[in-house]
Amino acid sequence: MSAARSQRWLSPGDVNGFLGLIVDNVSIMAFLATALIGIFGFPADIVFLRMFPGTTMGVLLGNLAYTVMARRLARREGRNDVTAMPLGLDAPTSIGMALLVLGPAFLRFKQGGLDEHAAAIATWQLGMAALVIMGVLKFVLSFFGDLVRRHVPRAGLLGSIAGIALVLMGFLPLIEILKVPVVGFAGLGIVLYALVARARMPLGLPGVLVALVVATALYYGLGSQGLLGNGYHTPAAWQWRIAFPTPTLQWTGGLSTATPYLPLILPFGLLMVVGGINVTESARAAGDDYRTRDILLVEALATLAAGFCGGVAQTTPYIGQPSYKAMGARSGYTLLTGLVVGLGGVLGYLSNLVELLPLSVLAPILVFVAIGITVQAFEATPTRYAAAVVFSFFPAISRMVTIKLSDPTYVSSEHFSALFAAHQNGISELAVITVLGNGFIITSMIWASFLVALIDGRTLRAAVILIFGGALSLFGVIHSVLLDGGIYTPWSLDAPSRFLVWQFAGAYVVLAAVLLLLSAVRPGKSDDANGQGVQPHG
């Protein structure tokens, strides 16, 4: 009997791998739903009956494709120890979609005069359009992924995503933990104990699963006795929400409204391409030689399928394939995960599970993921570029502050706009924070890339990057002067807004000129052609 014929569909390692992968996916879906429904007041039926089925369809198709790829690789190489590439919803971009795109868009549609249901449908269409745009971008870049990776330094790529992780996946969920500290802190402690300290859990259970069970038991046990005060809410009754993810063209209705969010949407897609390349290299180092282009194409097509069927969150191959391999997982765990998640979106049992998990229970998992992504940004980047990674965090911090300052529960939109427009004594602090936060992912990449070039002594390259940043700021791709972060042509703006545009664009150009002057007059100037020259101190 050949190795391929003897390869089992399910092994004990596949069960452990399934538990880990399913918890990751469900926790992200749960945060997506609870953020939209709990924070922004989004109608639950639109989330569970329109967004979930298509989103889970992407997870189903991607995992099925990766399962087939693993079994083909095993057959081709005559091995039965090939581990499939894990695929699921991407945590940073899914959370970013909820907090930066879908939630704010829903509030904006309502402020524009739409009723709640119409605003929710418009937001859903925008989310679908965003997913299709990301899918198309990933499909195209699948053929040029290595080129992208060569021209954007790792500090820029990892620093920008670490900024998202630190403030959106880390700090904001930490606030949710401390809203119900008895529950959230216990869950966070277990996650840190199991996954950071790497202590073994009873019966070898996944640490995330134990944290969910303990925190949920505390939430309902203490809450039902009135010991959590307003932090406890009675769970919703079980409902069968059957909805099939049928292809639709409704996403075309969201293309125009998605345009202002392109500075967020396009980097989300770019990050997944580079991430896909990295995780494929990781799997190759562990002994499973997948073709990079095939991994990226499956990811892109799964995202496109989800968008066409109503999904709003993109899929990605997960980092950690060697870890699943070490626990004995083969190809059964991805098959199980795809079927359970895909059918859960159709039959509705995932939505019921999500409603049982409050933010205080889910948030510890997100904080851990945030810690892991931020640590990785420093570990995977040479120490000499650590300053560039840190420098790339500042735009993300500004974005987080803007989210809170523009929250209608804190300040009215009219008052916020008035403060934003005031700049009698220079540009107002609120305007600076908002403009710095708009397009923050691309800004982070540019800032880190320019500083990496300086560290390498490549002043000409740094100046070119800065001029590119200035050009992007002219059109609002970064540093948009519109409150919603939209793009524009500078000559279409009113005089005060145009003043801000030229101030920020001019700052990049002036800095580029200053650096070139310094490089020209200093002794022993750098060799910009090969990156050799002045080295960093220490």
pLDDT of residue 3: 46
Choice between 467 and 482, residue whose per-residue pLDDT is larger: 467
Among the ranges given (157-171, 335-349, 417-431), the one the predictor scored with the smallest mean pLDDT: 417-431
Question: What would the two tokens of residue 7 be?
Answer: 């390869």
pLDDT of residue 407: 57
* Residue 88 β-bridge partners: 316
Q: At what angle do helices 440-455 and 154-164 cross, to 10 degrees?
A: 140
Choice between 357 and 82, residue whose per-residue pLDDT is larger: 82
Angle formed at CA 204 by CA 200 and CA 205, multiple of 5 degrees = 105
Average pLDDT rounded to a whole number, residues 377-389: 88
The answer, yes or no, to whether residue 503 has pLDDT greater than 50, is yes
pLDDT of residue 9: 77
Question: What sign does the CA torsion over 502, 505, 509, 511 have?
Answer: positive
Average pLDDT rounded to a whole number, residues 177-183: 91
Q: How many C-beta atoms surround the C-beta of residue 531 within 10 A?
A: 13
pLDDT of residue 448: 92
Choice between 493 and 301, residue whose per-residue pLDDT is larger: 301
User: How many Å apart are CA 145 and CA 135, to the nearest integer?
Assistant: 14
The answer, yes or no, to whether residue 133 has pLDDT greater than 50, is yes
pLDDT of residue 421: 53
- Nearest to residue 394, comparing CAs of 447, 354, 459? 447
Question: What would the two tokens of residue 511 be?
Answer: 């800095």
The answer, yes or no, to whether residue 13 has pLDDT greater than 90, is no
Choice between 258 and 533, residue whose per-residue pLDDT is larger: 258
User: How many Å apart are CA 26 and CA 265, to the nearest integer?
Assistant: 23
The answer, yes or no, to whether residue 79 has pLDDT greater than 90, is no
pLDDT in tens, 210-219: 888 999 999 9
Query: Could you tell me if 511 and 433 are in contact, meaning their C-beta atoms sit under 8 angstroms apart?
Result: no
pLDDT of residue 530: 44
pLDDT of residue 536: 38
Query: Could you tell me if 161 and 377 are in contact, meaning their C-beta atoms sit under 8 angstroms apart?
Result: yes
The answer, yes or no, to whether residue 398 has pLDDT greater than 60, is yes
**Which runs of E-coded beta strand occur in 131-247?**
none
pLDDT of residue 420: 53
Max mean pLDDT range (276-280, 319-323, 385-389)? 385-389
Question: What would the two tokens of residue 477 be?
Answer: 């791709």
Q: At what angle do helices 103-111 and 116-141 cross, to 10 degrees?
A: 140
Average pLDDT rounded to a whole number, residues 511-528: 76
Q: What is the DSSP letter of 37?
A: I
The answer, yes or no, to whether residue 138 has pLDDT greater than 80, is yes
Find all residues with CB under 8 Å of 156, minimum gap 6, and list them: 388, 392, 444, 445, 446, 447, 448, 449, 452
pLDDT of residue 102: 94
The answer, yes or no, to whether residue 511 has pLDDT greater than 90, is yes
Average pLDDT rounded to a whole number, residues 178-205: 88
Q: What percent of the chain has pLDDT over 70?
A: 90
The answer, yes or no, to whether residue 92 has pLDDT greater than 80, is no
Choice between 135 and 150, residue whose per-residue pLDDT is larger: 135
The answer, yes or no, to whether residue 351 has pLDDT greater than 90, is no
Query: Could you tell me if 326 and 20 are in contact, meaning their C-beta atoms sit under 8 angstroms apart?
Result: no
pLDDT of residue 400: 84
As to burial, measured by CB atoms within 10 angstroms (0-12 exposed, 13-18 middle, 19+ buried), residue 239 is middle
Average pLDDT rounded to a whole number, residues 165-191: 88
Choice between 241 and 406, residue whose per-residue pLDDT is larger: 241
Domain coordinates of the chain in residue numbers? 8-380, 384-521
Query: Could you tell me if 55 and 306 are in contact, meaning their C-beta atoms sit under 8 angstroms apart?
Result: yes
The answer, yes or no, to whether residue 537 has pLDDT greater than 70, is no
Q: How many C-beta atoms surround the C-beta of residue 432 within 10 A?
A: 17
- Nearest to residue 390, comparing CAs of 162, 237, 201? 162
Residue 531 binned pLDDT confidence (cut-offs 50, 70, 90): very low
User: How many Å apart are CA 65 and CA 88, to the nearest integer?
Assistant: 12
pLDDT of residue 266: 85
Choice between 327 and 209, residue whose per-residue pLDDT is larger: 209
The answer, yes or no, to whether residue 366 has pLDDT greater than 60, is yes
Average pLDDT over the chain reads 84
The answer, yes or no, to whether residue 261 has pLDDT greater than 50, is yes
Question: What would the two tokens of residue 230 be?
Answer: 């307003």
